[in-house]
Amino acid sequence: MIDRNVGFLVGLKAEAALLRQFFPDAPIAISGATPEGARRGVDRLVASGASGLVSFGLAAGLDPALAPGSIIIPDAIAVDGRVVPCDPRLRRALGAKDGVTVGGALLHSDTVVLKAEDKQRLGLESGCCALDMESGFVAQRAREARLPFAALRAVCDSASRTLPPATAFALSPEGGVKIGMLLQSLAQNPAQIGGLIAIGLDAGRARKAMAHFLKINRPSVRFSR
């Protein structure tokens, strides 16, 4: 049990809403899935007095063996050519357990990786199991502030899933969806509809798996007021 004022950085409003169901008192910052938003968010968490940082939400699979809903609590974050170890105590407090969660390294990316072949290439080149857009900022800022950090992620799109182009630019900086941009993209390329439905189903599986995991492991972390 770790009694800390742990701050969470998430990419989307939906991820923050899921987290709030289980940890209503946790400090949460939303990046909007942009590098600028992630920097501002993690800086706000540190400035607010967070005594630990966690990157939370969904991730893209790089390991072909990981299906949507696989829970990842990585041993380390790979960012800018460096591999930064996560805090072992915070990992255990979040529920890291052999046979239940996936360890290994989590790769940071500043951009959405759409194509399956690119995800598979990154997996082979980096040796990482999955990819997200917030964990690198958490790792770097935590090291600067000398704070413990970890990540808790659920695989959304598998390594074999190519995402529709609309997913790369339909997200708003506030962490929601730009409906107008999404509709415009669909009007220009209606063939994306099937892909959007598929990724929506994958995201639903990932959120359901994360909710189940949090329900079981919530007592492991307390948040000081």
Q: What is the CATH number for 82?
A: 3.40.50.1580
Q: How many domains are there within the chain?
A: 1
Mean pLDDT of 130-140: 96
pLDDT value, residue 183 = 64
| Residue-number span of the structural domain to which 164 is assigned | 2-219
In a domain, 224, yes or no: no
Mean pLDDT of 57-76: 96
As given in the structure block, the two tokens for residue 189 are: 């390329």
In a domain, 225, yes or no: no
Lowest mean pLDDT among 82-96, 105-119, 174-188: 174-188
Mean pLDDT of 209-223: 79
Mean pLDDT of 195-214: 90
